[in-house]
């Protein structure tokens, strides 16, 4: 079934540790996105990639990095996790401007 | 700054009609999206409006007035499975989505 796969589903992490959230899509979409979702707030864009080999910063990029080596994969890395990064992280992809974004099931991350 | 406003929570009765409003102020406008998100799940796409007017899709309709910075999502013949959060998002001049905090819709029998 075509879609977006995120891993892990959930994770508890000690502060200061490095963590990579994985995201893979098989729809051959050019654009991919990472969001965080916190209670009472809208989805906030962390980083995005319009096409393989390019990335850009969103609204809340500090403390996160991404890479886009190929069309399918868009991992998000927390270099040194802090408690304020406790959140639900969603990866999404779209087939271009003005096209709907399709979301993965999310990663629930708790930083202690 | 950019801002999307929608009510935090609404309650409606099974079989009834409910209208969820969204007002926005963004730098540029390239369309407005509505998504549905069940608790603990991913958002799923419902509708897209870029021109003024009403778009109907089954039990769900979405309306847009660009001059007023206003949209609404209309849900008819409510079913218990419609209990979810409804997210309004505007695509700005950089083709990035600005999201509202969502409206939690509670359906009562």
Residue A78 sits at φ, ψ, to 5 deg, of -100, 110
Cβ within 8 Å of residue B56, ≥6 positions away:
none
Pairing label, strands B84-91, B32-37: antiparallel
Q: Say if the Cβ atoms of A100 and B97 lie within 8 Å.
A: no
Express each pLDDT in B14-66 by its tens digit: 999 999 999 999 989 999 999 999 999 999 999 999 999 999 999 999 999 99
Express each pLDDT in A33-43 by its tens digit: 999 999 988 89
Query: In this complex, which of A48, A90, A97 lies closest to B42 when CB atoms are compared?
Result: A90
Express each pLDDT in A58-71 by its tens digit: 999 999 999 999 99
Contacts with B41 from chain A: Cβ below 8 Å: 105-106
| Interface check A102 vs B, CB under 8 A | yes
CB atoms within 10 A of CB B92: 16
Q: What is the DSSP string of chain B?
A: --EEE--SEEEEETTS-EEEEEEEE-SS-S-EEEEEE-TTS--EEEEEE-SSEEEEETTEEEEEETTTTEEEEEE-S--GGG-EEEEEEEE-TTS-EEE---EEEEEE-
- Give residue for tokens 């996790």: A81
| pLDDT exceeds cutoff 90 at B1 | no
């Amino acid at each position: 079934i075509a879609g977006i796969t995120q891993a892990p589903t959930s994770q508890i992490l000690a502060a200061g540790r490095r963590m990579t959230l994985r995201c893979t899509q098989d729809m051959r979409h050019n654009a991919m996105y990472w969001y965080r979702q916190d209670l009472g707030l809208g989805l906030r864009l962390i980083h995005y990639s319009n096409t393989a080999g390019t990335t850009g910063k969103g609204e809340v990029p500090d403390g996160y990095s991404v890479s886009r080596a190929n069309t399918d994969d868009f991992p998000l890395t927390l270099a040194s996790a802090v408690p304020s990064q406790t959140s639900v992280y969603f990866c999404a992809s779209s087939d271009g401007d003005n096209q709907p974004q399709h979301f993965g099931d999310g990663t629930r991350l708790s930083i202690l | 700054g950019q801002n999307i406003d929608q009510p935090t929570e609404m309650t409606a009765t099974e079989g009834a009609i409910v209208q969820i409003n969204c007002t926005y102020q963004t730098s540029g406008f390239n369309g407005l999206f509505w998504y549905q998100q069940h608790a603990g799940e991913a958002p799923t796409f419902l509708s897209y409006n870029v021109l003024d007017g009403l778009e109907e899709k089954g039990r769900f309709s979405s309306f847009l007035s660009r001059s007023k910075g206003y949209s609404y999502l209309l849900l008819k013949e409510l079913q218990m499975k419609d209990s979810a959060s409804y997210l309004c998002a505007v695509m700005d001049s950089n083709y990035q989505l600005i999201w509202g905090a969502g409206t939690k819709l509670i359906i009562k029998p």
